[in-house]
Structure 1
Amino acid sequence: MKGLRVVESGSGPAVLWVHGYTMDSTLWEPLWRLLPGWRHIGVDLPGHGGSEPLRPGTTLPALAARLAGLAAAEGAERVVGLSFGSCVALQMALEAPETVRHLVLAAPTLGGAPPDPAARRRYIELMTLRRAGGTGEQMTGLWMASPPDIFRGAAAHPELLARLRTVIGGHSWAELDTGAMAALTAHRHPPEDLARIGARTTVVIGDSDMPTFVDNARTLHRVVNKCRIWTIPNSGHLPLLEHPEMSVNALFDGLALSERVDSV
Structure 2
Amino acid sequence: MNGLRIVSSGTGPAVLWVHGYTMDLTLWRPLWELLPGWRHIGVDLPGHGGSEPLRPGTTLPTLALRLAEIAEAERADRVVGLSFGSSVALQMALEAPELVRNLVLAAPTLGGAPPDPAARRRYMELMMVRRAGGGREQMAELWMSSPPDIFRGTEAHPELRARLRAVIGGHSWAELDSGAMAALSAHRHPPEDLTRIRASTMVIIGDSDMPTFVTNAETLRQTVPGCDIRTIPNSGHLPLLEQPEMSAKAVFAGLTLSERVDRV
Which amino acid counterpart does residue 51 of structure 2 have in structure 1? S
Q: Distance in 1 between matches of 2:260 and 2:169?
A: 41
Tell me, yes or no, if structure 1 residue 239 matches structure 2 residue 239. yes
Tell me, yes or no, if structure 1 residue 17 matches structure 2 residue 17. yes
Partner SS, residue 252 of structure 1: helix
Corresponding residue for residue 61 of structure 1? 61
* 1:189-222 deviation line (CA, Å, top 9, x unaligned): 0000000000000000000000000000000000
Deviation at 1:258, TM superposition (A): 4.7
Q: Distance in 2 between matches of 1:251 and 1:82?
A: 11
- Asked if structure 1 preserves the Cα contact closer than 8 Å seen for 2:47 and 2:54, the reply is yes
- Asked if structure 1 preserves the Cα contact closer than 8 Å seen for 2:200 and 2:257, the reply is no
Deviation at 1:2, TM superposition (A): 3.0
Q: Distance in 2 between matches of 1:135 and 1:14?
A: 38
Deviation at 1:260, TM superposition (A): 3.8
Corresponding residue for residue 190 of structure 2? 190
CA RMSD between the two structures: 1.0
Q: Distance in 1 between matches of 2:59 and 2:83?
A: 17
TM-score, normalised by the number of residues in structure 2: 0.98
Q: Distance in 1 between matches of 2:201 and 2:114?
A: 22
Deviation at 1:185, TM superposition (A): 0.6
Deviation at 1:135, TM superposition (A): 1.4
Q: Distance in 1 between matches of 2:113 and 2:260?
A: 28
Partner SS, residue 236 of structure 1: coil
Deviation at 1:20, TM superposition (A): 0.1
Q: Distance in 2 between matches of 1:44 and 1:77?
A: 18
Gaps of 5+ in 1: none
Q: Distance in 2 between matches of 1:53 and 1:37?
A: 33
Corresponding residue for residue 225 of structure 1? 225
From the superposition, tell whether residues 258 and 195 of structure 1 become closer, same or farther in structure 2 (CA, over 3 Å): closer
Identity of aligned residues (%): 81
Q: Distance in 2 between matches of 1:225 and 1:6?
A: 31
- Asked if structure 2 preserves the Cα contact closer than 8 Å seen for 1:19 and 1:85, the reply is yes
Partner SS, residue 21 of structure 2: coil
TM-score, normalised by the number of residues in structure 1: 0.98
Corresponding residue for residue 145 of structure 2? 145
Q: How many residues align?
A: 262
Q: Distance in 1 between matches of 2:194 and 2:257?
A: 23
- Asked if structure 2 preserves the Cα contact closer than 8 Å seen for 1:199 and 1:226, the reply is no
Q: Distance in 1 between matches of 2:34 and 2:112?
A: 34
Q: Distance in 2 between matches of 1:206 and 1:157?
A: 15
Deviation at 1:257, TM superposition (A): 6.7
Partner SS, residue 218 of structure 1: helix
Q: Distance in 2 between matches of 1:143 and 1:40?
A: 28
- Asked if structure 2 preserves the Cα contact closer than 8 Å seen for 1:56 and 1:178, the reply is yes
Which amino acid counterpart does residue 124 of structure 1 have in structure 2? M
Which amino acid counterpart does residue 105 of structure 1 have in structure 2? L
* 1:62-118 deviation line (CA, Å, top 9, x unaligned): 000110111011100000000000000000000000000100000000000000000
Corresponding residue for residue 131 of structure 1? 131
Q: Distance in 2 between matches of 1:249 and 1:143?
A: 30
Deviation at 1:226, TM superposition (A): 1.8
- Asked if structure 1 preserves the Cα contact closer than 8 Å seen for 2:102 and 2:257, the reply is no
Partner SS, residue 80 of structure 1: strand
Partner SS, residue 77 of structure 1: strand
Which amino acid counterpart does residue 32 of structure 1 have in structure 2? W
- Asked if structure 2 preserves the Cα contact closer than 8 Å seen for 1:13 and 1:37, the reply is yes
- Asked if structure 2 preserves the Cα contact closer than 8 Å seen for 1:97 and 1:198, the reply is yes
